[in-house]
């Protein structure tokens, strides 16, 4: 049985939070279906820039507005200069890191598309 950081099984957490998890994933339905929430409901700060695999990567801290209807205390995004998000960190309201989503394998499989393997 898999356990979440809070010490509850995935199914207990889904029932308790009324937010179902996708089978085999720690993504919530909101994580996947979110459209522009992070743009409209968060303030963003560029923390750093660095090079990785021939790309500039931007580290961006995103803190929700006071009245935003979001569950995270903040998110930290690592986005390449070609708009590929290579990592996303999720913090609770007490600023404790709860989960990290990494794109650990990117490869071109069509002229304009990238195949991403994710680990969260």
Residues 60 and 1 in one domain: no
Beta bridge partners of 27: none
Task: Render pLDDT for 58-73 as a digit per residue (tens, 0 to 9).
Answer: 999 999 999 988 889 9
Domain range for 26:
1-33
User: How far, in Å, CA of 50 to CA of 33, rounded?
Assistant: 29
Residues 26 and 58 in one domain: no
Q: What is the pTM of this model?
A: 0.63
Residues 26 and 1 in one domain: yes
3-state secondary structure of 15: helix
CB distance 9 to 102 below 8 Å: no
Q: Residue 89's domain is classified under what CATH number?
A: 2.50.20.10
Q: Which residue has the higher pLDDT, 110 or 11?
A: 110
Residues 68 and 98 in one domain: yes
Residues 101 and 79 in one domain: yes
Residues 12 and 56 in one domain: no
User: How far, in Å, CA of 22 to CA of 33, rounded?
Assistant: 12
Residues 44 and 28 in one domain: no
Residues 114 and 57 in one domain: yes
Residue 30 has pLDDT above 80, yes or no: no
Residues 29 and 47 in one domain: no
Residues 47 and 29 in one domain: no
Residue 16 has pLDDT above 60, yes or no: no
| Number of folded domains that form the chain | 2
């Amino acid at each position: 049985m898999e356990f979440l950081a809070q010490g509850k099984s995935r199914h207990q957490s889904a029932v308790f939070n009324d937010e179902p998890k996708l089978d085999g994933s720690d993504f919530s339905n909101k994580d996947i279906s979110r459209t522009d929430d992070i743009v409209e409901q968060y303030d963003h700060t560029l923390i750093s820039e660095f090079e990785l695999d021939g790309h500039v990567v931007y580290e961006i801290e995103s803190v929700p507005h006071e009245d935003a209807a979001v569950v995270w205390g903040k998110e930290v995004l690592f986005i390449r200069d070609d708009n590929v998000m290579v990592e996303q960190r999720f913090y609770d309201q007490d600023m404790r890191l709860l989960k990290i989503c990494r794109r650990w394998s990117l490869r071109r499989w069509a002229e304009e598309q990238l195949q991403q393997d994710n680990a969260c």
